[in-house]
Amino acid sequence: MKLNYLFLLMLATTLQVRAQDDVYPAKEYKGLLFITNGTVHIGNGQVLEKATVEVRDGKIVGVGANIAIPQGDVKVFDVTGKHVYPGLILPQSDLGLKEIAAGVRGSNDYRELGELNPNIRSIVAYNTASMMINILKTNGVLLANVVPQGGIISGSSSVVQLDAWNYEDAAYKQDGAIHVTIPPFSAPRSRFAVRSGPPVDYVKVANEKIEEVKDFFRQGKAYLEKNSHAEVNLKFEALRGLFDKQQALFVHAGSVSQMLAAIELVKEFGFRTVLVGASESWQIAPLLKENNIGVILGAGHSLPGTEDEDIDQPFKTPAVLQNAGVLFALSDDATNTRYRNLPFNAGTAASYGLTKEQALSAITLNAAQLLGIADRTGSLEAGKDANIVVSEGDILDMKTSIITHAFIQGRQVSLENKQTQLNERYLKKYGLQN
Partner 1 sequence: MKQIICAGLACLAIGFLYAQKTFPVNGVADERNTIYVLKNATVYKDAETVIPGATLVVQKDRIIDIGTNITAPAGAVIIDCSGRFILPSFVDIYSDYGIPVPQRAAGAFNFSAPAQFNSNTKGAVGWNQAVRAEVDAVNIFTSDEKQAKTFRDIGFGTVLTHQKDGIVRGTGAVVTLANEKENLAIVKEKAAMHFSFSKGTSTQSYPGSLMGVIALLRQTYIDAEWYKNNPAAEGVNLSLKAFNENASLPQVFEANDKWGDLRADRIGDEFGKQYIIKGGGNEYQRINEIAATKASFILPLNFPEAMDVEDPNNAYQVSLNDLKHWELAPGNPAAFEKAGIPFCLTPADLRDIKQFLPNLRKAIASGLSEKQALKALTQTPAELMGVYHLVGSLEKGKLANFLVSSGPVFNEKTVIFENWVQGQKYTVKDDDEAIKGTYNLTVQSGGKTETYTLVVKDPSSASITGKDTLNAKFTYNNKLVTLSFPPSKKSKNSIRLSGIALGNEWSGNGADTAGNAVFWKAGLTAAAVAVKDSGSKSAPAAALAKITYPFGSYGFDKLPEQQTILIKNATVWTSDIAGKLENTDVLVRSGKIEQVGKNLNASGAVILDGTGKHLTAGIIDEHSHIAVASINEGAQSVTSEVRIADNLNPDDINIYRQLSGGVTSSHILHGSANTIGGQTQLIKLRWGADAEGLKFKNWDPFIKFALGENVKRTTSSANNRFPDTRMGVEQVLTDAFQRAVDYQNAVKAAGTVSAKGRKGAAANPWATVRRDLELDALVEILNAQRFITCHSYVQTEITYMMRVAEKFGFKVNTLTHILEGYKVADKINAHGASVSTFSDWFGYKMEVLDAIAYNAGIMQKMGLNVCINSDDAEMARRLNQEAAKIIKYSSITEEQALNMVTINPAKALHIDDRTGSIKAGKDADLVLWSDHPLSIYAQAEKTIVDGIIYFDRERDLQLRKSITEERNRLIQKMNGEKKAGGRTAPFRPSTQALLGCGEHDDDGSFHLHDDEQAAAW
Dist CA 157 CA 185 (whole Å): 25
Residue 52 CB-half CA count within 13 A: 18
Determine which residue in the list 151, 347, 378, 410 makes contact with partner 1, applying CB under 8 A: 347
The only residue of 82, 137, 179, 340 in contact with partner 1, by rule CB under 8 A: 340
Binding residues for partner 1, rule CB under 8 A, total 66
**Candidate segments 75-83, 164-172, 186-194, 211-219, binder of partner 1 by CB under 8 A:** 186-194
Binders of partner 1 among residues 213 to 252 (CB under 8 A) are none
Rounded to an integer, what distance in angstroms lies between the CA atom of residue 140 and that of residue 341?
10
- Per-position x/- string for 127-146, each x denoting binding to partner 1 as judged by CB under 8 A, each - no binding: ----xx--x-----------
* Element of type H or E holding 217: helix 202-225
Burial of residue 362 (CB within 10 Å: 0-12, 13-18, 19+) is buried
Stated as kind and residue range, the H or E segment containing 155 is: strand 153-161
Question: Residue 166, interface with partner 1 (CB under 8 A)?
Answer: no
Establish if 174 lies at the interface with partner 1 (CB under 8 A): no
Task: Report how far residue 314's alpha carbon sits from residue 302's, in angstroms, rounded to the nearest whole number.
Answer: 6
101 contacts partner 1 (rule: CB under 8 A): yes
Taking contact as CB under 8 A, which single stretch among the options 8-16, 287-295, 319-327, 418-426 is the one that binds partner 1? 418-426
Residue ranges in 269-288 that form contacts with partner 1 under rule CB under 8 A = 283
Task: State the angle between helix axes of 131-138 and 418-430 in degrees (0 to 180), rounded to the nearest 10.
Answer: 80
Check residue 7 for interaction with partner 1 (CB under 8 A).
no
Distance set, CA 398 to CA 1, 344, 391 (Å): 18, 7, 11
Q: Find the helix or strand (DSSP H, E) in which 347 lies.
A: helix 342-351
When binding is defined by CB under 8 A, the residue of 36, 122, 157, 401 that contacts partner 1 is: 401
Sheet holding 328-330, edge to edge: 88-93, 141-146, 153-161, 171-181, 248-253, 273-277, 294-297, 328-330
The distance of closest approach from Cβ of residue 231 to partner 1 in the complex, given in angstroms and rounded to an integer, is 36
* 200 near partner 1, rule: CB under 8 A: no
Residue from 20, 281, 341, 366 touching partner 1 (CB under 8 A): that is: 341
With CB under 8 A as the contact rule, the residue among 112, 212, 312, 357 that binds partner 1 is: 312
Rule CB under 8 A: which residues touch partner 1? 1, 99-104, 131-132, 135, 185-197, 255-257, 283, 301-304, 306-308, 310-312, 335-338, 340-341, 344, 347-348, 350-351, 396-402, 418-420, 422-423, 426-427, 430, 432-434
